[in-house]
Amino acid sequence: MKPADYPPPFDAREFVAAPADPEDERIDVGVLIVGAGPAGLACAIRLGQLLENAPEVRERLGEVPVAVLEKGKQPGSHLLSGAVVNPRALRRLFKGRKRVDEMPFYGPVEHESVYFLTSKRALRIPTPPTMKNDGNYVASLSQLGRWLAEQAEEGGAMILPETSAVKLLAADGRVRGVRTGDKGRGRDGEQLGNFEPGADVVARVTVLAEGTQGHLTGVALNRFGLAGENPQVWALGVKEVWKVARPLDRVIHTMGWPLRAASKYREFGGSFIYPMGKDMVTLGMVVGLDYRDGELSVHDLLQELKTHPLVRKLLDGGERVAWGAKTIPEGGLLSLPRQLHAPGLLICGDGAGLVNVPALKGIHYAIESGSLAAEAAFAALQRGQTPSTPGALAVYDEALRQSFVWKDLKEVRNMRQAFGRGFWLGGALAGAMTATKGHFPPGDTRTERDSEQELLRTDRAQSYPASDGKLTFDKLSSVFASGNKTRDDQPNHIVIRRDVPPELARMWERMCPAQVYEATAEGVDITPSNCVQCGAITAKGGRLTPPEGGSGPEYTLT
Ligand SMILES: Cc1cc2nc3c(=O)[nH]c(=O)nc-3n(C[C@H](O)[C@H](O)[C@H](O)COP(=O)(O)OP(=O)(O)OC[C@H]3O[C@@H](n4cnc5c(N)ncnc54)[C@H](O)[C@@H]3O)c2cc1C
Ligand code: SF4
């Protein structure tokens, strides 16, 4: 049995519409950016810089030349990452304007260690070249996002938080903008006292920077036939932030335990432990969603990891202050859409799949792609140009292909796929790929959807530690620590089949870090208000759609 046997009742075509609001009720903006993550905000900042020197273009874009829609309560509320940041793209974006020491970083990476773990021991191994962090900085992406949002606003962008983009507006073969979601509906869709209808936001160029599992990105790939040869595959990351008694002086990565090496389990991943200044540490577990074990729970694996002597010692005397979860697109170059533009549309960041998995890095690619998207949009907005004609935005794809993003991704293009063959063989192949900068093995590996993996039945869950409320935590207290205050009577935003076999219902129950699913005699029940919008369900047989704007987690430190 595999999750793909029970596809969700979801049709991407239902999320494309022509603008319907009367012209005088539409919100008209110049460039519309969906998503205030590093990609979207870099795009807004770069546009602000370019428009500063082009008052005639700014004038033509109307009252709101650049707008950014963000579904979180505020910019940063839905941002979660490691995060060790390569500052390369930020330096380029803020050249001559801001120095790295003015950015909200906890400091440069000074030392690093990689360990191979068994259940009791930690064997230090040489740092693989792809994982070296010399010259990189530690940050909280949520904090970095808030700072980037301030920079974007200073440059003239209008940021609209608590606003979900739910439909792509397209007419005459080109993208016209998006429709925002209604607010104030009850569980059955009825209008409550505080009801506010969504609106058509129309723009000359729409930039989708929705991050992982982008809802409209998926809709646009379908509508314009942009998908590449290989499907995207994902990993789920669950992380915590701790106040600690003693400072950590290095970044740590671990491989091995609690994951299993045998290829039949397809367990690819590891953990990260990063210092956040002198009194905080962040740690997380990342596991590929092509796993097969129906009892695998990334949240519980992170709890198990903390019981390891190496990790327990670091947290001893400390206190958990934040928790969150999010997916990472892991397919790399081979899973990218064949084209990242369509008439009137650009796609950047994680939404496109620009992540270097062996390095666990995507932030600088998001920023670089957002900046390049801004430059392409700006060029197409010059007098005499029309961004909605076919090919007008192709310069974005060309610029991305010439950039360091593409070069990096090409070198590691087969690496994620190699680990589908088990930890040891995958590790050996990855070593050969690194040594030859991606020339060996020649050719490209094919990828299978995460939902195509047959499920295995094991008794894995028995090894998960019980929650003690000090070192280890259950899912519900973790959802609380994410700041999620979603109202219980909001309409459901998770599209799944309810009449699924118990095996699949139980797999979803374990998989979801936020305890949304409950296996029942008839299939599965859900509590959508717990959802932290991590996106794992879209990889494993369902579909996450954007809930009411302003709901979901309220991250501040992740
Ligand atoms: C556990 C984990 C650890 C990681 N560690 C690192 C690391 O150490 N270093 C590194 O470089 N990278 C790391 N990454 C990857 C990195 O976080 C991403 O590559 C990066 O955040 C991508 O930026 P983005 O702007 O494309 O998307 P995101 O950061 O996901 O931002 C997208 C934004 O768009 C909003 N949005 C989405 N859809 C809509 C919609 N329809 N309407 C309105 N708003 C919408 C979201 O709420 C969000 O705020 C890690 C990722 C994870 C999950
Ligand atoms: S319901 Fe789905 S998207 Fe929401 S937290 Fe659970 S797995 Fe993630």
Ligand 2 site, residue 537, Cβ cutoff 6 A: yes
- Nearest protein Cα to ligand 2, atom 2: 537
Alpha helix segments (H runs only) across 206-329: 215-223, 298-305, 309-315
pLDDT of amino acid 421: 65
- Nearest protein Cα to ligand 2, atom 1: 531
Give residue-wise pLDDT tens across range 289-301.
999 999 999 999 9
pLDDT greater than 70 at residue 142: yes
Give residue-wise pLDDT tens across range 37-70.
999 999 999 999 999 999 999 999 999 999 999 9
- What is the pLDDT confidence band of residue 428, given thresholds at 50, 70 and 90? low
Q: Which ligand is nearest to the CA of 533?
A: 2
Ligand 1 site, residue 329, Cβ cutoff 6 A: no
Q: Which ligand is nearest to the CA of 538?
A: 2
Nearest alpha-carbon partner for 333 in 413, 437, 217, 415: 413
What rounded mean pLDDT belongs to the chain? 95
Q: Which residue among 482, 510, 533 is best mutated to probe the pocket of ligand 2, counting the most ligand atoms within 8 A of its Cβ? A: 533
The whole-angstrom distance between residue 190's C-alpha and the CA centroid of its chain comes to: 31
**Consecutive H or E run containing 478:** helix 475-481
pLDDT greater than 70 at residue 423: no
Q: Which ligand is nearest to the CA of 539?
A: 2
Cis peptide before 441 (omega within 30 of 0): yes
- Start-to-end CA distance of the chain, whole Å, equals 35
To 10 degrees, the CA torsion angle through 89, 90, 94, 98?
-150
Q: Which ligand is nearest to the CA of 364?
A: 1
- What is the pLDDT confidence band of residue 398, given thresholds at 50, 70 and 90? very high
Angle at Cα 237 formed by Cα 232 and Cα 240, nearest 5°?
165
Give residue-wise pLDDT tens across range 151-160.
999 999 999 9
Buried b or exposed e, range 390-423, using 16+ CB within 10 angstroms? eebbebbbebbeebebbebbebbbbbbbbbbbbb
Ligand 1 site, residue 160, Cβ cutoff 6 A: no
Nearest alpha-carbon partner for 179 in 224, 215, 222: 215
pLDDT of amino acid 424: 67
pLDDT of amino acid 129: 87
d(CA 489, CA 204): 36
Ligand 2 site, residue 507, Cβ cutoff 6 A: no
Ligand 1 site, residue 164, Cβ cutoff 6 A: yes
Residue 299 tokens, joined: 């949240």
d(CA 132, CA 114): 10
455 near 504, Cβ under 8 Å? yes
Q: For 50-59, 254-263, 443-452, 488-497, which range has the lowest pLDDT when averaged over its residues?
A: 443-452
Ligand 2 site, residue 531, Cβ cutoff 6 A: yes
Q: How far is the CA of 96 from the centre of ligand 1 (A)?
A: 26
Average pLDDT for 219-231: 96
Count CA atoms closer than 13 A to 314's CA, side-chain side.
25
pLDDT greater than 70 at residue 474: yes
d(CA 188, CA 544): 18
d(CA 81, CA 238): 9
Cis peptide before 258 (omega within 30 of 0): yes
| Residue 440 Cα distances to 105, 358, 401, 415, angstroms | 37, 16, 21, 10
- What is the pLDDT confidence band of residue 280, given thresholds at 50, 70 and 90? very high
- Nearest protein Cα to ligand 1, atom 22: 350
Ligand 2 site, residue 546, Cβ cutoff 6 A: no
474 near 481, Cβ under 8 Å? no
Give residue-wise pLDDT tens across range 338-351.
999 999 999 999 99
pLDDT of amino acid 385: 86
> Running DSSP on this structure, what letter comes out for residue 194?
E
Ligand 2 site, residue 536, Cβ cutoff 6 A: yes
Q: How far is the CA of 506 from the centre of ligand 2 (A)?
A: 14
d(CA 124, CA 266): 24
Residue 194 tokens, joined: 């505080």
Average pLDDT for 171-183: 97
Give residue-wise pLDDT tens across range 69-78.
999 999 999 9
Q: pTM higher than 0.95 for the full model?
A: yes
**Consecutive H or E run containing 426:** helix 423-435
Q: Which residue among 74, 78, 356, 400 is best mutated to probe the pocket of ligand 1, counting the most ligand atoms within 8 A of its Cβ? A: 78
Q: Which residue among 516, 527, 555, 558 is best mutated to probe the pocket of ligand 2, counting the most ligand atoms within 8 A of its Cβ? A: 516
| Residue 276 Cα distances to 78, 114, 243, 248, angstroms | 19, 18, 9, 8
Give residue-wise pLDDT tens across range 527-553.
999 999 999 999 999 999 999 999 999
